[in-house]
Each structure stands twice: as structure tokens, then as C-alpha cells.
């Protein structure tokens, strides 16, 4: 398995502060069956915005540490890039890395947005030759309350990455239900850990993929697993074999979601 969203590099954002924790995270990932991680520190203006060379140096130090520890796991570089109007310019100027050097850009929408603004910014990224991979839609009230926006964005050529913990209910029933709805409608393209440490939100994917298999069957779950590899290798994402659960789109929009108390907070992903 490949984890393409993981805050594993030390001292750059709200991930681990020390290399020893980064190595613990890698050990947990290896035991879970993860063979490659894309390290994705935040690129969030005025909050966490480590320079490209700082990220590369931290990745090199992690690779050295892994070798010393005898841990076999590949480390690529990417960013958890906040979707701001300057993102395209920063990508083009080399100030923000794509996922493992591919055309795919991991991007986190702001906490509040309009559908039109989101579509406009993502359109500009695609016009620039990038393929947006939108982080954890299941943790945004804006998407959960308007599932048709997820459908529209997917049809426009954007992909969605759901957090592994959401599949197991770690972010509440609403995020879990929405993840399931997305999976059943082929709108869940990639599962990633979005891990931030060895204890808090650890880098594990196996249990999430088991849940996915229960929801959509082994075939579609394998496609979702393969999608992460396709991003890592800068290939087209494999298509799903079937075309959905066999009901019309408008019927699906009527699916109701249980509402937990309060709105799902996004915080920093
Ligand atoms: Fe993240």
C-alpha cells in the first residue's frame, strides 16, 4: 500500500517534532504493510509554509535514519497545499511540490468556501496542467451538506482523498457515512492516513481498506488501492470496473445522512 498524505517529516508543521517520532511512524507504517509514503508537510500561508529545500533536507535525513534502522519504505515528497489563489503561481515557481513529482497536487480547501469559487480555483489548477486531489471532503460541512458538489467536481476532473480514520468512524458518524456514500458512488478515489504522529492519527491503512472491501467489494477496493500507486507513478488513475450501485444520481442525492451534534470541524488536516 502507498500512503500519499502523511505528515511524517519532523519539525516542519504540526506533524512530529523529532526525528525519533518520524522513525516510529515509519515503523508503524511498515508493520501495516505500507511500502511507500509521500511526506506532505503543509503549504499553508502564514501558518505552516516550510521552504522546498527544508522539506527536501528533512526527507533526506529521514531516509538516512530509515537506512540506519533497517526499515524498508520509500519516501517521496509532496505537500498538503492549502487551496489559495496563489497556489498555481507557487507550483509553477517551484515553491510547492506536487505529489512525488507527478502532475497530482494534494490540496486542502479552506474551511469555508462557495462551490463557484472552489470550481474556479480548481479549474485554474487543471488549466495549468495539474490534477487536483482534494483532501478529506468527508470532514467538510460544505461537502456533506451538498454532496452534488462532490459529484460535479469529480466530473470536472478533480479527485478526492478520504482520510483512513474516517472509514473507521474516528471523525464521527457523519464523516463515516459520507465516506461510505462517496465509495459507493465511485467518488472516493484514494484513501490516505493524513497521519500526524506515531500515536495521534498514526500512518495505517490496512483496517481502512478492510472496511472499504466490506462497503464496495474487493474489486473496487483494489482500484482505490491502485489509484494511490498510479499517483506515485504519475499514471492515469485506473477506472472503476462497475458504474455505481445501480441507482440514478438524483435518487442518490436524496440519501440522508445522520447528523451528529454540531458541524464537522475541519481544523488542519
Ligand atoms: Fe494533512
C-alpha 190 – ligand 1 centre gap (Å): 14
Burial 144-166 (b: 16+ CB within 10 A, else e): beebebbbebbeeebbbbbbbbb
Q: How far, in Å, CA of 166 to CA of 139, rounded?
A: 8
Classify strands 36-39 and 80-82 as parallel, antiparallel or unpaired.
unpaired
260 is a domain residue? no
CA dihedral 115, 242, 163, 226 (to 10 degrees): -120
Residue 262 lies in a domain: no
- Measure the CA–CA gap between 104 and 97, rounded to whole angstroms: 10
Which range of residues forms the domain containing residue 72? 2-253
As given in the structure block, the three cell numbers for residue 130 are: 495539474
CA of 19 to the centre of ligand 1 (A): 18
CA of 269 to the centre of ligand 1 (A): 4
How remote is the CA of residue 6 from the centroid of ligand 1, in Å? 7
Q: Is 269 a member of any domain?
A: no
Cα 249 to middle of ligand 1, angstroms: 30
- Domain count along the chain: 1
214 Cα: distance to centroid of ligand 1 (angstroms): 26
**Residue 219 is assigned to a structural domain of this protein:** yes
Cα(161) to centroid(ligand 1), Å:
11
203 neighbors 34 (Cβ within 8 angstroms) = yes
Tens place of pLDDT for every residue, the chain, 269 residues? 999 999 999 999 999 999 999 999 999 999 999 999 999 999 998 899 999 999 999 999 999 999 999 999 999 999 999 999 999 999 999 999 999 999 999 999 998 888 999 999 999 999 999 999 999 999 999 999 999 999 999 999 999 999 999 999 999 999 999 999 999 999 999 999 999 999 978 999 999 999 999 999 999 999 999 999 999 999 998 876 544 444 444 334 433 343 333 333 444 55
For residue 61, being part of any structural domain is answered with: yes
CATH number of the domain encompassing residue 84: 3.20.20.140
Q: How many angstroms separate the alpha carbon of residue 210 from the centre of ligand 1?
A: 22
List CB contacts of 132: < 8 A, sequence separation 6 or more: 104, 105, 107, 122, 125, 126, 158, 159
Amino acid at each position: 500500500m502507498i500512503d500519499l498524505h502523511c505528515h511524517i517529516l519532523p519539525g516542519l508543521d504540526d506533524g512530529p517534532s523529532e526525528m525519533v517520532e518520524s522513525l516510529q511512524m515509519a515503523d508503524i507504517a511498515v508493520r501495516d504493510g505500507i511500502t511507500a509514503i509521500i511526506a506532505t508537510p503543509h503549504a499553508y500561508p502564514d501558518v505552516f509554509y516550510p521552504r522546498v529545500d527544508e522539506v527536501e533536507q528533512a526527507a533526506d535525513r529521514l531516509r538516512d535514519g530509515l537506512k540506519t534502522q533497517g526499515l524498508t519504505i520509500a519516501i517521496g515528497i509532496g505537500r498538503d497545499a492549502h487551496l489559495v489563489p496563489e497556489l498555481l503561481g507557487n507550483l509553477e515557481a517551484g515553491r510547492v511540490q506536487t505529489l512525488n513529482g507527478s502532475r497530482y497536487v494534494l490540496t486542502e480547501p479552506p474551511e469555508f468556501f462557495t462551490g463557484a469559487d472552489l470550481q474556479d480555483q480548481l479549474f485554474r489548477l487543471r488549466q495549468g496542467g495539474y490534477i487536483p486531489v482534494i483532501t478529506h471532503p468527508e470532514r467538510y460541512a460544505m461537502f456533506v451538506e451538498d454532496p452534488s458538489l462532490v459529484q460535479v467536481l469529480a466530473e470536472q476532473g478533480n479527485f478526492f482523498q478520504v482520510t483512513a480514520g474516517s472509514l473507521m468512524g474516528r471523525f464521527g458518524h457523519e464523516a463515516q457515512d459520507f465516506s461510505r456514500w462517496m465509495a459507493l458512488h465511485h467518488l472516493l478515489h484514494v484513501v490516505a492516513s493524513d497521519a500526524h504522529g506515531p500515536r495521534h492519527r498514526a500512518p495505517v491503512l490496512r483496517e481502512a481498506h478492510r472496511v472499504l472491501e466490506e462497503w464496495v467489494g474487493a474489486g473496487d477496493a483494489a482500484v482505490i488501492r491502485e489509484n494511490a500507486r498510479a499517483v506515485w507513478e504519475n499514471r492515469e488513475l485506473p477506472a472503476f470496473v462497475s458504474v455505481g450501485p445501480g441507482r440514478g444520481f438524483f435518487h442518490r442525492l436524496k440519501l440522508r445522512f445522520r447528523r451528529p451534534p454540531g458541524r464537522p470541524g475541519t481544523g488542519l488536516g
